[in-house]
Amino acid sequence: MALLKSTLFLFLVTITSSYLAHASDPDITSDFIFPANSNAVDGTFFTYTGMRGIFDTDPTTFKVTKASLAEFPALNGQSTSFAVLQYPAGGLNPPHTHPRSSELLFVVEGSLEVGLVDTTNKFYNQTLQLGDMFIFPKGLVHYQYNANPTDPATAISAFGSANAGAVSVPLSVFSTGIDDDILAKAFKTDVATIQKIKAGIAPPK
Ligand SMILES: *[C@@H]1O[C@H](CO)[C@@H](O)[C@H](O)[C@H]1NC(C)=O
C-alpha cells in the first residue's frame, strides 16, 4: 500500500512538473482560429500592417507598438507576437515583467543598456550594440535604457505568447490605489515620500 501510494505520488509529481515545464499558450486543435462569426478568411487575415510608417518619425518619449493578439487576431493560438520599442535619446522603458512569456530583444538602431533581476534578486546587466540580442526570461523584472544623449535607439522584441502581458513596476505599485500607509510601511519610508512618488506617476491607461 505504501509502495502504491509513493508510486502514485511520484507519477503525479512527474506529470505536474512536465506540464509546468511546457506551460505556454494552449495548443490549438486546428491549423488556426477563425475570427468570431466567420469561417472563411483570405491572406489578409494572416497579414498585419499596423507597423507601417512607425519608423518614419522618431518619437519624443519611449514608445511601444505591439503586434499581439489584441491588434492581430490571427495570432490566436500561435504562441508568438512582436513589439517594436522606440527610445529617444535618454529614453527609458521602466522596470516591468511579462507574466506569460520570455522576451527576445533585438537592437536594430543605436545601443541600449538593459538589466534584469532574477527570483533571488540577483541583478544582471549589459550594454547592447546595434545587431545584439538579449533574452529576458519569463516573468522576471527587466528594463531598457538608451543612455545615448543625442541618438535614438530601436529594438524589436519577440515573445513566445500571443498575449505576453506587461506589468509595470512603478504603475502597479504606485498608481493602482494601494493605500499610502501600506506603501510607506512596505518601502520603510513616510507617507509624504510615497505621495511625492505617486504625484510623478501617470495613472495606468
Ligand atoms: C551595470 O550596472 C552598473 C551599475 O549597477 C554599471 O556601473 C555598469 O556599467 C553596468 N554594466 C553594463 C555592461 O552596462
Q: What is the pLDDT of residues 159-194, one digit of tens each?
A: 999 999 999 999 999 999 999 999 999 999 999 999
* Shared-domain flag, residues 59 and 147: yes
- Span 115-144, mean pLDDT? 98
Look-up: residue for cell 518619437? 59
Are 159 and 185 found together in one domain? no
Sheet holding 112-117, edge to edge: 123-128, 112-117, 141-145, 92-97, 167-168
What are the tens digits of pLDDT across the range 56-101?
A: 999 999 999 999 999 999 999 999 999 999 999 999 999 999 999 9
pTM: 0.85
Confidence of residue 37 (pLDDT cuts 50, 70, 90): confident
Question: Could you tell me where the DSSP H helices lie in 22-51?
Answer: none
Tell me, yes or no, whether 90 and 137 share the same domain: yes
Q: Please tell me whether residues 186 and 155 are part of one structural domain.
A: no
Tell me how far apart the alpha carbons of residues 116 and 140 are, in angstroms, rounded to a whole number.
7
Q: Sorting pLDDT into bands at 50, 70 and 90, what band is 19? A: very low
Residue at 183 is within a domain: yes
Least confident window among 2-11, 107-116, 164-173: 2-11
The rounded distance, in Å, linking the Cα atoms of 109 and 34 is 36
| Close Cβ partners of 144 (under 8 Å, ≥ 6 residues apart) | 85, 87, 92, 93, 105, 112, 113, 114, 155
Q: Which is the closest atom of ligand 1 to the Cα of 114?
A: 14
Same domain assignment for residues 92 and 151: yes
The kind and range of the H/E element at 84 are strand 81-87
Bridge partners, residue 99, by sequence:
none
Q: The domain containing residue 84 runs over which residues? A: 45-165
Q: Are residues 88 and 64 in the same domain?
A: yes
Q: Which atom of ligand 1 is nearest to the CA of 125?
A: 1
- Contacts (Cβ under 8 Å, ≥6 apart) of 27: 77
Report residue 22's pLDDT band, with 50, 70 and 90 as the boundaries. low
CA of 122 to the centre of ligand 1 (A): 13
Residue 20 lies in a domain: no
Residue whose C-alpha cell is 494601494: 178
Read off the amino acid at residue 48. Y
> Which of 74, 84, 91, 94 lies closest to 143 in space, CA to CA?
94
Q: What is residue 38's predicted lDDT score, i.e. its pLDDT?
A: 85
Residues 64 and 133 in one domain: yes
Give residue 8's pLDDT: 52
How many angstroms does the Cα of residue 140 sit away from the middle of ligand 1?
A: 18
Give per-residue pLDDT as tens, 38-62. Answer: 889 999 999 999 999 999 999 999 9
Using the mean position of ligand 1's atoms as its centre, give its distance from the Cα of residue 125 in Å.
Answer: 6
Q: What type of residue is 99?
A: P
Number of separate domains in the chain = 2
Whole-number Å distance, alpha carbon 185 to ligand 1 midpoint, is: 30
Ligand 1, atom 1, lies closest to the CA of 125
Q: Which of 125, 134, 142, 144 for mutating ligand 1's site (highest number of atoms within 8 Å of CB)?
A: 125
Please check whether residues 134 and 49 belong to one and the same domain.
yes
Residues 151 and 190 placed together within one structural domain of the fold: no
Identify the band that residue 15 occupies on the pLDDT scale cut at 50, 70 and 90: very low
- 65 and 138 housed in the same domain: yes
Residue 196 sits in the same domain as residue 133: no
C-alpha distances in angstroms, 191 versus 10, 94, 175, 199, 201?
Answer: 50, 23, 14, 12, 16
- Cβ < 6 A, ligand 1 pocket: 113, 125-127
Using CA positions, which residue lies closest to atom 6 of ligand 1? 125
Going from the Cα of 126 to the center of ligand 1, the distance in angstroms, rounded, reads: 7
Is 22 part of any known ligand binding site?
no
Among 92, 113, 128, 132, name the best residue to mutate to test ligand 1's pocket (greatest count of ligand atoms within 8 A of Cβ): 113
Question: Residue 174 and residue 84: Cα distance in Å, rounded?
Answer: 26
